[in-house]
Amino acid sequence: MIEELLSSENPYQQSRLEKQSMLLEQLNELTSFHYQHCMPYQRIIDKTDMSKQAARLEDIPYLPVQLFKMLDLFSMPPSEHFKTLNSSGTTGQQVSRIHIDRTTSVLQTKALNTIVRSFLGKSRLPMIIVDNNFLKNRLQFSARSAGTIGFSQFGHHHLYLLDDEMKVQEQELEAFLERYNGQPIFLFGFTFILWEYLLQYYRARNRKLDLSGSKLIHGGGWKKLQEQSVSDAEFRRLLKEQFGLTEVYNYYGMVEQVGSIYMQCEQGHLHTPDFADVLVRDPDTLDVVPYGQKGLIQVLSILPRSYPGHSLLTEDMGTIVGEDDCRCGRKGKYFTIEGRLPKAELRGCSDTFTLQT
């Protein structure tokens, strides 16, 4: 089933009942597998009233994502360990550690491929990475490097736009645009880096750059932009005004569920692919709330095989707008993200899962 889903040219074609039935079966199997092969996960489930065999998607046991900053959670023998992904974090801050085997890595790559190809098309495009080439000196496999490497497969002749001091390399950019004059270009970058080091660079110099006909994918969080009162609509407006970019796709994702990204459609909604889903829970009661009501986002994915990351409660607030009826034509739930829940407002999400080890 999963191989069939990941080889589809359209990862947004399952209707509600068909998808829920499939996900429920797959997620129950993953819960059972991780319960048997990950002792800390087993202890967590045993200490809560969550069922190992759920009758509804909302009953699938979930972990708060911050647990991956506190515990090493994996469901594979050490000999099958392939790589460890680390989340982003400032100096001294704890980061999530996600342990991956080759099977999970392959599934993540296939999932990302089928999602992004449905937006970009099958052909690889000349690619501009709006970042410096930090990969050449990386000391660990971080969320930033995982994202850059993952999206690099959709481009060719990659140009890292920024130098080591995060300045635009204008001569290299001019040569690149001259070489691919008249061709669409694929741009990728993290939202804040795009804002701070590309948009602001050209706005400060009152200069524009013609990138019309090109496609931009960006992600990585909005916290710093929200602090500057920059909305998604304003960000898109400025990208169009400054660079002529009209095909701009934000995505929502996290290192704890690599591959299962939620791409933003032409209507401005984030979409769940056939192999993943979202629920929204009340931050106080943790009950699932109706569509249209804001709450904590829970992400579900059938990809994580090497660690119990198939059902995670995030710290992000969002709203499910609808299901199967977005004007873009894609089936599945579509939703919006509306910022992070302030730490002071968390009502025991972590406390519920405190372990006595």
Reading the block at residue 278, the tokens are 């979202």
Cα–Cα distance list, 14 to 55, 90, 323, 350 (Å): 20, 40, 11, 34
Rounded CA-CA distance 88/96 in Å is 8
How many CB atoms sit inside 10 A of residue 144's CB? 19
- The pLDDT value recorded for residue 350 is 35
Per-residue burial over 239-258, b = 16 or more CB atoms within 10 Å of its CB, e = otherwise: beebbebebbbbbbbbbbbb
Beta-carbon contacts of 95 under 8 Å, excluding residues fewer than 6 positions away, are: 69, 86, 87, 88, 89
Token pair listed for 50: 């969550």
What dihedral angle (degrees, nearest 10) is formed by the CA atoms of 276, 127, 167, 143?
30
Residue 340 has what pLDDT? 84
Taking the CA atoms of 35, 39, 44 and 47 in sequence, report the sign of the dihedral they define: positive
Query: Which residues lie closer than 8 Å to 41 by C-beta, 6 or more apart?
Result: 34, 35, 63, 73, 75, 308
pLDDT recorded at residue 227: 67
| Dihedral sign computed on CA atoms, order 258, 264, 269, 275 | negative
Distance CA 214, CA 38 (A): 45
Listed as ranges, residues in the chain with pLDDT below 70 are 88-93, 135-143, 221-227, 229, 343-357
Tokens, residue 11: 């990862």
pLDDT at site 347: 39
Residue 232 CB neighbours (<10 A): 17
Question: According to the model, what pLDDT value does residue 62 have?
Answer: 96
pTM for this one? Answer: 0.90
Distance of alpha carbon 135 from alpha carbon 142, whole angstroms:
10
Angstrom distances, CA of residue 117 to CA of 74, 111, 214, 259: 30, 10, 15, 13
* Cβ pair 317, 339 in contact under 8 A: yes
pLDDT in tens, 202-249: 999 999 999 999 999 998 766 666 667 678 888 999 999 999 999 999
Coil/strand/helix, residue 103: helix
